[in-house]
A and B are shown apart, each in its own frame.
Chain A
Amino acid sequence: MNLGISATEYVSQIRNGQISAEEFIAKTLDRIRTVEGKVHAYITIDEQNALNQARIIDKKIKAKERIGALFGMPISIKDNICTSGIRTTCASKMLENFIAPYDATVVSRLKQDDAIIIGKVNLDEFAMGSTTEFSCFGPSRNPWNVEYVPGGSSGGSGVSVSALECVASLGSDTGGSVRSPASFCSVVGLKPTYGLVSRYGLVSYANSIEQIGPVARKVEDIALIMNTISGHDSHDDTTVEKGRVDYLQDLNAGVKGKKIGLVSQMTGDGVDKEVSSATNAAVSKFQDLEAECIPISLDSVEHSVAAYYTIASAEASSNLSRYDNLRYGFDLGTEGYEFKAYVSKVRSNFGPEVTRRMLLGAFVLSAGYYGKYYLKAQKVRAMMKSQIDDAFKKVDFLVAPTMPILPFKIGEKIDDPLTLYLLDANTIMANLTGIPAISVPFAISSSGLPIGIQIFANSFQDKNLLQAAYALQQTTHLPEVPV
């Protein structure tokens, strides 16, 4: 049995009886036992429940009962998405033992379609970071070279899919957190249009820009999972009613006659040479597929990192102020403390990056600085949105490298927040403007590290985006993961 099959292959193999759900889950659990020591993707593994669920699925198949579209496929969930019965830690001491009394909407939809939640995967604390090094459980490691970072903050999602520890995963993307590990781990990661996938049950970091997104080995798997998780949710007022869309249908429509813009600001200075040449190669592939490629200039992109860290930090400072350890949290009695002293004692348990962003956020929102920082950042956001609108009058898609540089060694940049922030330069635009973006594995560097290509489409053009990504994927031939 090949654990490296895609989600769609899994579905067809289980349908025609080649594999059973129990067998596949058991093999997956074996695989986890083998590689976890090297890659550390998981925070919590729900072994027994996964096996029980698989047996139920197999029984249903035998009895020819109706089965959901995901047929017992093992899926991992980023540990900032709530799952009833399995703890949701956000990789923070603050929520080390927090078990939500409810499933996130995406999780209940996965369960409805008979996916199996095999475990919860690692992230930077509260999804703040780009390398998964800021986890209170320790860093995850890149399956292509375990000395290297896997990207982040959804590092556990990227690693678990890449290292064949599950078929697919759900991550969250606030400034590139799904696409960064997808690119660094050579898997596919989608940040859907804001409002397309419910955030109910996603622990908020920067709620005006973040979305839950799937990570998988193939674009068609992303389409399959989007069919399950997307759509309006009565628990999230920001979700949009767009009617039912089948993302798998016409996935192979191709890009013939489409116009594709290469974003100048994302391909110039600061981009690694091998990343640059991979990007040019991707453009040639699109041209081979009879798409027209032109350069597009979006000068607001130069301000995107500053605007992003202002807005995201501001929202983080508000979203994380609820953690006072009074209603849930860890074991620390209130005896002997005055309220404010207790709260500050409790909150000293946040890690360094979370603390940094909360302080930054409180500062940019404070009276006297609001106009100088927060409002200005919102203006950049509005300007970027109007430039994007103009760009999509000229082209159907935008293209850029997902990450400007190759994966680097664990610990190499952890003491340099500004350099880490600049890693998000190419991904942030999609979050600030709400548009969908996908990272497709495209090449392997001379040093054996993955390079991903990012494609953007206009808001709610997610289906077209998947068609373009699929077309690009079909031009690639990549080696198997070494771990």
Chain B
Amino acid sequence: MTKIGLEIHCQLTKLESKLFCSCKADYRNLSPNSNICPVCIGLPGSLPILNKKAVEKATMISLALGCKIPEQISFFRKNYFYPDLPKGFQITQYNAYGPTSIGSDGVVQIEEKKIRIRRIQLEEDPGRLVYEGSSEKTQITLVDYNRAGAPLVEIVTEPDFENPKQVRIFLNVLADLVENLGVSDPYLEGAMRVDGNISVEKANRVEIKNVGSFRDIEKALHFEITRQQSLVERNIPVVAETRHWDEARKITVSSRSKEEEQDYRYLPEADIPIIQIAQNKIAALKENMPESIIAKKERYAQKYGIPPQVADVLSSDKFYSDLFENAHTDTNAKEIANIITTDLMGFADTREKKLDLKITPKHISDLADAILNGTITRNSGKIALQEMVKTGKSLSDVKSSLDLGNVSDVSSLEKIIDEVFKEEEKAVLEAKQNPDTVNYIVGKVMKKTKGKASPGTTLELIRKRLLSS
């Protein structure tokens, strides 16, 4: 049986400052080495000051993943030399001498499968190496410390995955979860990074590192399964090693380094005193945590009668569920869920498009109410929505500028029906004999009104007219 375990690094991008100093946690789009201070570049004499909010956010992640939170947590130094590591060690957490990391022994249910979480730890991100040209041939390596000290949560699972598909589902659930908690934006470049370890039946465990995006991990795992299985079939032993994902060639390559044998010489980080985690604080944190995606989904279905599939899609997307929460009333909730999932999500299916939307909760709420009280049709509604999203104009402005108001007053509608009856004599005759064909006439009326006629009123008037003539 194939066994896969994951190590996920998730940046706490929603924090203001780094883990141990007051430099910005958001290091992106800044000129190199401009987001640094004596602490994060490890100048002699500097000391780390723990960002308490990072502990809070990491606790929330741990709670959401069903982990145990210890009564006290502490930090360790992981010692190794690398140019992007300014102190010669990384401040992280370590459970070899007892559980002192922020979370341990959790479990996540994905469909029918239980994935156990071994531990969750808080640590600092190193800086970044920038190569001139490709990393193999470059003569020049530059170091940018803007990222050094960015707050990172490492989530380590047990080897409970049986195939890459489960991994993908889990990562999607996890990404939605951290976004819903408001601790991270997993879609920012480098905000969520995944290493995997994998063994097929009768083979040694292989680690896969350097997977750039968490979507590529699925491809890397597939490749590795095929590679390992073909070795096993030919009775060639699978070497226990670390392999790097080559993004360009879409294959894994032996890193040929002795990472396995590296001795990190962990020792307690005495500059950060042991932190007591008060049980009442955890309770308070739990109380104030955003509603979980699962709870949200159930509420949508039960309270508003939103169909389970719609509720599922809506609840797992933080951006759209927040929009829903701010827009809905008890009466229009179902209609709003419908507008968001069938129309709005279609217009804006990427992150960039979402951010460009000029939509407010009021837009959605007004539109749903208009549809429900018949002053606009669903068809016109969709057109209005598209315009509102682009321009940010109000529904009434859009309605008049695009002439989308319903033709709902009976006299003008009757005039149009008169015209249609004259033009479609044959169809009228047929409808008199066979009432099922009346939809054809309704369609003609709709065409004349450019979809603005209320379908209910139109049908009623046509039926009356058929009976009287």
Contact = CB atoms under 8 A, between A and B. Distances in A.
A201 B45 contact: yes
Contacts of B270: 207-208, 238, 315
Contacts of A90: 44
Nearest to B50: A237
B289 interface: no
A90 B43 CA distance: 13
Interface string B11-53: 0000000000000000000000000001001111111111000
B83 interface: yes
B81 interface: yes
Nearest to A363: B265
Interface stretch (A33-41, A97-105, A448-456): A97-105
Nearest to B262: A367
Nearest to A203: B44
Given A95-B44, A202-B45, A362 B271 contact: no
A321 interface: yes
Interface in B260-295: 263, 265-268, 270-273
A290 interface: no
Contacts of B47: 199-200, 235-238
Nearest to A90: B44
Contacts of A343: 81
A101 B38 contact: yes
B38 A204 contact: no
A314 B79 CA distance: 11
A102 B38 contact: yes
A326 B271 CA distance: 24
Contacts of B44: 82, 88, 90, 95, 98, 100, 203-204, 322, 328
Given A82-B44, A315-B267, A324 B88 contact: yes
A12 interface: no
Given A324-B81, A339-B83, A100 B271 contact: no
A234 B44 CA distance: 18
B267 A104 contact: no
A109 to B, nearest CB: 15
Interface residues of B, number: 30
Judged by DSSP, the binding face of B is loop
A259 B266 CA distance: 42
Nearest to A202: B45
B89 A365 contact: no
A327 B86 contact: yes
Contacts of B86: 322, 327
Contacts of B87: 321-322
B188 interface: no
A370 B76 CA distance: 14
Contact of A235 (B49, B83, B141, B268): B49
Given A208-B270, A237-B272, A238-B271, A321 B45 contact: no
Indicate the member of B41, B81, B86, B87 with the most A CB atoms within 10 Å: B81
Contacts, number: 100
Contacts of A323: 88
B143 interface: yes
A451 to B, nearest CB: 33
A350 B46 CA distance: 21
Contacts of A339: 81, 83, 141
Contacts of B43: 100-101, 327-328
A372 interface: no
Nearest to A102: B38
A426 interface: no
B77 interface: yes
Most buried by A among B42, B45, B88, B265: B45
A461 interface: no
A414 B360 CA distance: 77
Interface in A318-348: 318, 320-324, 326-328, 339-340, 343
Contacts of A238: 47, 270-271, 273
Given A101-B38, A202-B45, A236-B47, A318 B89 contact: yes
B271 A365 contact: no
Interface in A286-341: 314-315, 317-318, 320-324, 326-328, 339-340
A366 interface: yes
Contacts of B50: 237
A191 B87 CA distance: 27
Contacts of A81: 45
Contacts of B41: 327
Interface string B66-89: 000000000001010101001111
Contacts of B88: 318, 320-324
Contact of B263 (A235, A236, A321, A367): A367
Nearest to B272: A237
A235 B22 CA distance: 11
Nearest to A374: B267
Contacts of A88: 44-45
Interface in B124-179: 141, 143
B45 A318 contact: no
A200 B48 contact: no
Contacts of A320: 88
Nearest to B49: A237
Interface in A192-231: 199-204, 207-208
A9 to B, nearest CB: 33
Contacts of B46: 200-201
B50 to A, nearest CB: 6
Given A101-B43, A236-B47, A321 B271 contact: no
Nearest to B79: A318
Contacts of A237: 47-50, 271-273
Given A98-B44, A104-B45, A318 B273 contact: no
B433 to A, nearest CB: 89
Contacts of B271: 204, 207, 236-238
Contacts of A366: 263, 265
A310 to B, nearest CB: 11
A340 B272 CA distance: 30
Interface in A357-409: 362, 365-367, 370, 374
B265 A365 contact: yes
Contact of A321 (B49, B81, B272, B273): B81
A367 B79 CA distance: 12
Nearest to B89: A318
Contacts of A370: 266
Contacts of A203: 44-45
A104 B47 CA distance: 11
Nearest to B36: A327
A203 B83 CA distance: 21
23 contacts: A98-B44, A100-B44, A202-B45, A204-B44, A204-B271, A208-B270, A235-B47, A236-B271, A237-B47, A237-B271, A317-B79, A318-B79, A318-B267, A322-B87, A322-B88, A327-B41, A327-B43, A327-B86, A339-B83, A340-B81, A365-B79, A366-B263, A367-B265
- The 9 A-B pairs of least Cβ separation, nearest first, read A321-B88, A208-B270, A365-B265, A203-B44, A201-B45, A82-B45, A322-B88, A322-B87, A322-B42
